[in-house]
Structure 1
Amino acid sequence: MKSKEVRERIRRGEFQKNTSGACDEYVQANVVILPKEFAFDFFLYTYRNPKACPLIEVLEAGEYESRLAKGSDIRMDIPLYHVFINGKLHEKRGDIRDLYQDDYVTFLLGCSFTFESQILNNGIYLRHVDYKKNVAMYKTNMETEPAGRFSGPLVVSMRPIANEHLEKVIEITSRFPNMHGAPVHIGDPSKIGIEQIECPDYGEFVEMKDNETPVFWACGVTPQAAAVRANIPVMITHAPGHMFITDWTNDDFLYEIGEKIPSSSE
């Protein structure tokens, strides 16, 4: 399906699952919506933490149509929203039209689902996609760079990668700095504060094989951890793994314009 078709299905309540593997050729985005009075602090937070919060668009206060998706409505085009009130997850819902206010500013952040499509195009197996599971995500002991009200731990996503493909996966993902880029850690999860890899903070764990290594990337769920610590009156985000699907293709965000990543068949 085209990106617009999926957004329309989401609006009708016909698509309510995570968006991993949906519209593989289109850029998906993490979403943060908050009152204008906190927007500059959050903008500065994204600037200081580009690996976790790679900014790809900011909407004007009260605006809800993304320039990356004609006819979109950020208030109802995401399968599931998280609503934080005073630093606590208050509710989960599939539509926020009745909550949206004229002073709300929306930030769209790059998502690792983009580089997942390129990994798959190179014939490299991703178990969570094959199993139709949400990618596993973890809070780490690495702190993000604070900005104003915002600070908190770096959240990472983890994918088991066959050892023979590690170098290629690093090469592929490094070409997408607007989508979290290269891994932040490879190997022993305890070195970044993850003691039980089988128990992710968000998403779903998939088994690890003997010939695989856990690889960790900065994750767009990081702002949700920051929202808890910031304790601001209201902040609305996507639920982990339930992204906003744009009309931009993944090739539009290649690090070097016009450069293609050769597939394994080329």
Structure 2
Amino acid sequence: MTVQSFASTAEEARHRIRTNQWRGVTSGVAPGHVQANLAILPRDLAFDFLLFCQRNPKPCPLLEVDTLEDYWQDDLVSFLLGCSFSFEQAMIDAGIPLRHQEQGKNVAMYITNVATAPAGVFSGPMVVSMRPIKRDQVVRAVQVTSRFPATHGAPVHIGSPRDIGIRDLDLPDFGEMVEIKPDEEPVFWACGVTPQAVALSCKPPLMFTHAPGRMFITDHRDADYAVL
């Protein structure tokens, strides 16, 4: 089953995911719908994590905070964080191709040497996602994604990966490697996988997260989170 034939609505996408009809990445799924990273923590860590998100809005743009007490342990709190998959349709509409979608791959993600602002027990490095962009389209890519601050917004870095502590683009920490052609630049956006890297750094006693690249698909529309 291809992404194109998988689902056209958020409700259909969630149904097929829950019934194991789709186990792949969600980039390109239910286009036009906001996708979100998920982090679930015990209540005694929830305030620290909320503060961490507020202090780090680029990698952890908070969309929603909810409780799971009606469905699971009575002290678990879930956080939905904006995902860059949500602005990918706008990039495609602007004529900016996305190689990971073309190749049916997960987007490449890297742990950087950029420190997040600590909050309570939470601290650690920022994670970024990388998309190869033709040099003559980089400015347009910045303009398009800047309209979506709730889903990471503009890139945090363009060009040399070593400047942000990435030694080898062929070895992503999460996701899959994609080719960068001679007429392209690697462009890096803050990534909602940052909480996973932070968890590896500060080791909370309990934390559930989404699998990188496999997002929660909401009923909200991307356009609802765009700014002019």
Please indicate the TM-score interval, normalised by the length of the shorter structure: over 0.9
Partner of 2:209: 237
Please point out which of 85, 92, 99 is paired with 1:113.
85
Contact 1:30–1:111, Cα closer than 8 Å, also in 2: yes
Amino acid of the structure 1 residue aligned with 2:166: I
Q: Give the Cα separation in 2 of the matches to 1:35 and 1:194.
A: 32
Q: Which one of the candidate residues 167, 172, 179 is aligned to 1:200?
A: 172
Question: TM-score, normalization: structure 1?
Answer: 0.81
Query: Distance in 2 between the 1:112 and 1:237 partners?
Result: 17
Report the counterpart of residue 160 of structure 2 in structure 1: 188
Match of 2:39 in 1: 32
| 1:16 lines up with 2:23 in the alignment | yes
Structure number with higher helix proportion: 2
Structure 1 unmatched ranges of 5 or more:
65-99, 257-266
Question: Any stretches of 5+ residues in structure 2 without a counterpart?
Answer: 1-7
Matches within 5 A, 1:129-208: 129-208=101-180
**Residue number in structure 1 paired with 2:57:** 50
Runs of 4+ in structure 1 over 6 Å off: none
Give the deviation of 1:48 after TM superposition. Answer: 0.3
How much does 1:157 deviate? 0.3
Cα separation, 1, equivalents of 2:70 and 2:31? 27
Aligned: 1:217 with 2:224: no
Query: Aligned pair count?
Result: 221
Other structure's SS at 1:234 match: coil
Q: Secondary structure at the match of 1:56?
A: strand
Q: TM-score of the superposition, structure 2-length normalised?
A: 0.95
* Aligned-pair identity (%): 55
SS state at 1:220 partner: coil
CA RMSD of aligned residues (A): 1.0
What is the aligned counterpart of 2:198 among 220, 226, 229?
Answer: 226
- Equivalent residue for 1:93? none
